[in-house]
């Protein structure tokens, strides 16, 4: 094929190729290229999707939704959603000069097509059943309000009733302050539900993904038998700047990352997204119990009394 010079000029003007840094600034069609939030490199959208939205250049694990997590982890067609109809209400009538909670909740629900942060249900990996509750950070910064807490608590209680493990995937900015004390009490509510699961000797596997902060990291997400995290995930309670200002000291560069938490014994493993399904599948197999769930539950409960 021969191409005239003026055609080439036109071609380069229209084609969003990653030749130079100035090219990166140009408008990129959503469905062709994606730009890494960490290194700025461009990747074909299909290649990026095939790599589970991990940058092939720098390994940055971009944020994904709860639905995407379930698609990555669960056996095909095994996921049955529960409590999708639970909807938050503005119980305190929260309005500030910048914020109207009721309107914000309605607008976010419409934009995301979900009622709140958490998607929960029953699923399996390699045929091994478990309950799952996964956060979508895109919904109001993954903030934990009444619906969030209720859905996670119900997932844990369902796991206890069925005698199966529960997996929580946690990405959150913390408690949803628009709900005040009703948000804060979710930390205790979910933690209490987890004691029921412990009583039937089933594990809570907690996966911390970027970012996991505040009341979620400070409560149930850290109360787990196994805690995994994704590479580079930011994890903590308060943010770096707040801590540096409070203690008047400079913190190490990788402070509050998954790797820092692993070095200090706070989590069990840092697992790349491509290995996550196999890793959680292996854990479910290790915890698999030979007895039927009902028999086992009666046995354990009787043993505790
Ligand atoms: Zn990158």
CATH number at residue 74: 3.90.226.10
Residues 56 and 157 in one domain: no
In-domain check, residue 72: yes
pLDDT at 4: 45
In-domain check, residue 99: yes
Q: How many helices (H) and strands (E) does the chain have?
A: 12, 9
Determine the distance separating the centroid of ligand 1 and the alpha carbon of 44, expressed in angstroms: 12
Q: How confident is the model at residue 27 (pLDDT cuts 50, 70, 90)?
A: low
pLDDT at 43: 94
Residues 181 and 262 in one domain: yes
Determine the distance separating the centroid of ligand 1 and the alpha carbon of 58, expressed in angstroms: 4
Determine the distance separating the centroid of ligand 1 and the alpha carbon of 67, expressed in angstroms: 23
pLDDT at 291: 56
Q: Give this prediction's pTM.
A: 0.84
In-domain check, residue 160: yes
pLDDT at 37: 94
Average pLDDT value for residue range 133-145: 97
Residues 41 and 51 in one domain: yes
In-domain check, residue 3: no
Residues 298 and 244 in one domain: yes
Q: How confident is the model at residue 30 (pLDDT cuts 50, 70, 90)?
A: low
The Cα 296–Cα 73 span in angstroms is: 27
Determine the distance separating the centroid of ligand 1 and the alpha carbon of 45, expressed in angstroms: 13
Q: Which of 62, 86, 117 is the last residue of a domain?
A: 62
Determine the distance separating the centroid of ligand 1 and the alpha carbon of 54, expressed in angstroms: 8
In-domain check, residue 93: yes
Residue of higher predicted confidence among 26 and 194: 194
Determine the distance separating the centroid of ligand 1 and the alpha carbon of 48, expressed in angstroms: 10
Nearest to 268 by CA among 211, 222, 210: 222
Determine the distance separating the centroid of ligand 1 and the alpha carbon of 61, expressed in angstroms: 8
Q: How confident is the model at residue 29 (pLDDT cuts 50, 70, 90)?
A: low
- The predicted-structure confidence for 181-234, as pLDDT tens digits, reads as follows 999 999 999 999 999 999 999 999 999 999 999 999 999 999 999 999 999 999
Residues 176 and 34 in one domain: no
Q: What is the CA radius of gyration of the chain?
A: 22
* 294 phi, psi to nearest 5 deg: -65, -45
Residues 254 and 117 in one domain: yes
CB neighbour list of residue 126: distance below 8 Å, 6 or more residues apart? 75, 281, 284, 285
pLDDT at 28: 55
Nearest to 118 by CA among 101, 135, 104: 135
Residues 208 and 292 in one domain: yes
Determine the distance separating the centroid of ligand 1 and the alpha carbon of 195, expressed in angstroms: 40
Residue 96: pLDDT above 50?
Answer: yes
The Cα 156–Cα 120 span in angstroms is: 10
Q: Token pair for residue 188?
A: 């205790």
Q: Which of 16, 41, 62 is the last residue of a domain?
A: 62
Average pLDDT value for residue range 32-49: 94
Determine the distance separating the centroid of ligand 1 and the alpha carbon of 242, expressed in angstroms: 28
Determine the distance separating the centroid of ligand 1 and the alpha carbon of 55, expressed in angstroms: 5
Residue of higher predicted confidence among 239 and 185: 185
Determine the distance separating the centroid of ligand 1 and the alpha carbon of 2, expressed in angstroms: 35
Residues 42 and 165 in one domain: no
Determine the distance separating the centroid of ligand 1 and the alpha carbon of 66, expressed in angstroms: 22
The range of the structural domain enclosing residue 32 comes to 28-62
Determine the distance separating the centroid of ligand 1 and the alpha carbon of 42, expressed in angstroms: 8
In-domain check, residue 86: yes
In-domain check, residue 271: yes
Average pLDDT value for residue range 29-52: 90
Q: How many residues does the chain have?
A: 305
Count CB-CB contacts under 10 A for residue 300: 17
The DSSP secondary structure of 109-150, one letter per residue, reads HHHHSSSSSEEEEEEEETTEEEEEEEE-TTTGGG-B-HHHHH
Residues 233 and 205 in one domain: yes
Average pLDDT value for residue range 136-161: 97
Residues 51 and 191 in one domain: no
Q: Above pLDDT 70, what percent of the chain?
A: 85
Residues 178 and 264 in one domain: yes
Q: Token pair for residue 204?
A: 């809570």
Residues 95 and 40 in one domain: no
Q: Which of 62, 87, 114 is the last residue of a domain?
A: 62
Determine the distance separating the centroid of ligand 1 and the alpha carbon of 38, expressed in angstroms: 5
In-domain check, residue 92: yes
Determine the distance separating the centroid of ligand 1 and the alpha carbon of 49, expressed in angstroms: 14
The Cα 113–Cα 92 span in angstroms is: 24
CB neighbour list of residue 250: distance below 8 Å, 6 or more residues apart? 244
Count of the separate structural domains present in the chain: 2
Q: Which residue has the tokens 């069609």?
A: 29
Question: Could you tell me the CA-to-CA distances from 138 to 71, 117, 118, 179, 289 in Å, in that order?
Answer: 17, 8, 11, 18, 36
Determine the distance separating the centroid of ligand 1 and the alpha carbon of 35, expressed in angstroms: 8
Which of 19-33, 82-96, 211-225 is least confident?
19-33
pLDDT at 240: 86
The Cα 146–Cα 159 span in angstroms is: 20
Angle between helices 66-73 and 273-287 (to 10 degrees): 60
Determine the distance separating the centroid of ligand 1 and the alpha carbon of 233, expressed in angstroms: 14
- The predicted-structure confidence for 276-304, as pLDDT tens digits, reads as follows 999 999 999 999 976 545 554 554 444 44
């Amino acid at each position: 094929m021969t191409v005239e010079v003026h055609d080439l000029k036109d071609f380069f003007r229209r084609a969003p190729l990653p030749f130079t840094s100035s090219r990166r600034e140009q408008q990129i069609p959503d469905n062709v290229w994606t730009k890494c939030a960490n290194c700025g490199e461009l990747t074909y959208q299909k290649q990026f999707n095939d790599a589970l939205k991990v940058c092939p250049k720098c390994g940055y694990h971009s944020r994904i939704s709860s639905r995407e997590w379930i698609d990555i982890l669960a056996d095909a067609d095994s996921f049955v959603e529960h409590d999708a109809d639970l909807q938050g209400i503005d119980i305190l009538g929260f309005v500030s000069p910048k914020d109207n909670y009721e309107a914000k909740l309605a607008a976010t629900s419409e934009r995301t097509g979900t009622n709140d942060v958490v998607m929960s249900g029953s699923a399996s990996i390699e045929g091994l059943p478990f309950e799952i509750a996964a956060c979508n950070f895109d919904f109001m910064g993954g903030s934990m309000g009444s619906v969030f807490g209720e859905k996670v608590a119900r997932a844990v209680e369902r796991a206890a009733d069925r005698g199966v493990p529960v997996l929580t995937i946690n990405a959150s900015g913390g408690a949803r302050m628009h709900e005040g004390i009703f948000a804060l009490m979710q930390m205790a509510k979910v933690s209490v539900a987890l004691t029921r699961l412990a009583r039937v000797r089933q594990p809570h596997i907690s996966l911390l993904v970027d970012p996991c902060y505040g009341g979620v990291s400070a409560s149930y997400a850290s109360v787990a038998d196994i805690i995994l995290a994704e590479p580079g995930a930011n994890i903590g309670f308060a943010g770096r700047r707040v801590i540096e200002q409070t203690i008047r000291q400079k913190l190490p560069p990788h402070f509050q990352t998954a790797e820092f938490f692993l070095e200090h014994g706070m989590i069990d493993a840092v697992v790349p997204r491509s290995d996550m399904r196999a890793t959680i599948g292996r854990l479910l197999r290790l915890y698999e119990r030979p007895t039927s769930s009902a028999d086992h539950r009666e046995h354990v409960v009787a043993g505790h009394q």
